Amino acid sequence: MRLKTTVQKQDFKIIAVDDEQGILDSLSIYLGNYHFTGCTDPLEAIELIRNEHFDLLLLDFLMSPIHGDQVVEEIRKFNPDLYILLLTGHKDLAPPLETIKRLDIQGYCEKSDKFDQLLLLIESGLKSVSQMRIIKEINEKLDLAYTELKEAYRGTVESLRYAVDAKDSYTKNHSDRVAYYSTLIGQKIGLSEQELETLHDGALFHDIGKIGIPDAILQKPGKLTDDEYDDIKNHPSIGSKILAPAKIFNDIIPIVKHHHERFDGRGYPSSLKGEEIPLFARIVGIADSFDAMTSDRSYRPRFTLIKALDELENGKGTQFDPNLVDAFILAIKESKEFIEGELHIDFIARKDDNI
């Protein structure tokens, strides 16, 4: 029987698993236009599929030493996408519909001396595989375009961040250090890699809003007036507005906007309290304060490490989340430098050229 097809048969690899060699021999003839592999041992087939790409699996149900549903159980542990057609010579012994759905078996066919129905199912299955290939290629292209757009926008915001650092020599590399300290806390409390990346990026951009604060205020050597301090307090809101047009920064906007909230609700801009403050903003708030305390300012020298840690302890429950302060202090005290007595104030800020 000749079938009209819209797929290029040589582009697809089919593996058939059946403990009857005669079935495999017949399939190899009918499927000769495809890249065909036949296998009588279901355990060997699992390893073949684990180590080699196949587009479609023809799988007998009743086999030894394991049945077809057990084969699928194993395959789905490492390959959720393989298109599977289950074959059986005994309709009454086929697995229940619930099992077929649970294992994501795409098709079912009874064995017959005639292969017409099976060939139609294979053709239909490979059309689905072909469509999924196209969708995957489109998604990859979209991901690439999104990544390029994200990097371009990120580059623009990075330039603004560096401009902020350049406005105030006392805060040079401040954001990099805050990102490092924040990551220390995040690692200590068990954040995932993706969460750590979001936290790191939010810490890098937490002060981006200072680009909108006059230099005279940022660089003022003495104490700020109330009006000047009110201007400074606008920088989280300014920063969130800078990032808002790009959806790629949605996850870090809460960090930028709320890193100056206080645990007791007396912070700004929203007077959030306790766990109302986003977790990552609470983390960055601690890291930001620690770096401010351990950096030289025009109006005071840097704190010693011990004094800075004491200040964090004193701020537990009022300015800072107590549990996060404990995590940060523990992370520092577990560091190699602290244990060996070599830890000084800029132990993190200068030990990595990327910071």
Q: Which domains does the chain have, with CATH numbers?
A: 9-138 (3.40.50.2300), 168-339 (1.10.3210.10)
Q: What are phi and psi of 93, to 5 degrees?
A: -100, 5
At residue 100, the pLDDT reads: 75
* All residues at 6 or more sequence positions from 29 whose CB lies less than 8 Å from its CB, including other chains: none
Selection from 79-88, 158-167, 299-308, 320-329 with the highest mean pLDDT = 320-329
Average pLDDT of the chain is 83
Return d(Cα 323, Cα 312) in angstroms, integer: 11
Percent of the chain with pLDDT over 70: 86
For residue 294, give the 3-state DSSP assignment: coil
More confident residue, 224 or 184: 184
What single-letter amino acid sits at 24? Answer: L
Query: What string of DSSP letters covers 3-32?
Result: ---SS-GGG-EEEEE-S-HHHHHHHHHHTT
Q: What are phi and psi of 297, to 5 degrees?
A: -125, 160
In tens, the pLDDT along 210-261 reads 888 887 787 777 788 888 888 889 999 999 998 888 788 899 999 999 999 9
At residue 95, the pLDDT reads: 67
Residue 57, pLDDT above cutoff 70: yes
112-121, 184-193, 290-299: the lowest-pLDDT one: 112-121
Residue in the block written with tokens 């099992």: 99
> Taking a C-beta distance cutoff of 8 angstroms, is the pair 72, 84 a contact?
yes
At residue 354, the pLDDT reads: 40
Enter the DSSP assignment of 95: P
Q: Where are the alpha helices (DSSP H) in the chain?
A: 21-30, 42-51, 68-75, 97-102, 116-167, 174-188, 193-204, 215-218, 226-232, 235-243, 253-258, 279-293, 305-314, 322-333, 336-339
At residue 144, the pLDDT reads: 84
Residues forming beta bridges with residue 108, ordered by sequence position: 86
Return d(Cα 124, Cα 130) in angstroms, integer: 10
At residue 277, the pLDDT reads: 97
Q: What is the CA angle 291-273-201, rounded to 5?
A: 45
Q: What is the CA angle 292-337-198, rounded to 5?
A: 55
For residue 110, give the 3-state DSSP assignment: strand
> Which residue in 101, 111, 210, 351 is the catalytic one?
210
Residue 288, pLDDT above cutoff 50: yes
At residue 93, the pLDDT reads: 61
Return d(Cα 16, Cα 80) in angstroms, integer: 18
Q: What is the mean pLDDT of residues 44-55?
A: 94
Residue 188, pLDDT above cutoff 70: yes
6-15, 39-48, 144-153, 227-236: the lowest-pLDDT one: 6-15
Instruction: Give catalytic status of residue 167 as yes or no.
Output: no
The alpha carbon dihedral of 282, 283, 284, 290 has a sign of positive
Q: Predicted confidence band at 6 (pLDDT cuts at 50, 70, 90)?
A: very low
In tens, the pLDDT along 69-98 reads 889 889 999 998 899 988 876 666 666 677
At residue 92, the pLDDT reads: 62
Percent of the chain with pLDDT over 90: 39
Phi-psi region of 329 (alpha: psi -120 to 50; beta: other; left: phi over 0): alpha
Q: Predicted confidence band at 279 (pLDDT cuts at 50, 70, 90)?
A: very high
Q: What are phi and psi of 273, to 5 degrees?
A: -130, 140
**Rounded (10°) CA dihedral 4, 10, 14, 20:** 80
Residue 192, pLDDT above cutoff 90: yes
Residue in the block written with tokens 């004094």: 307
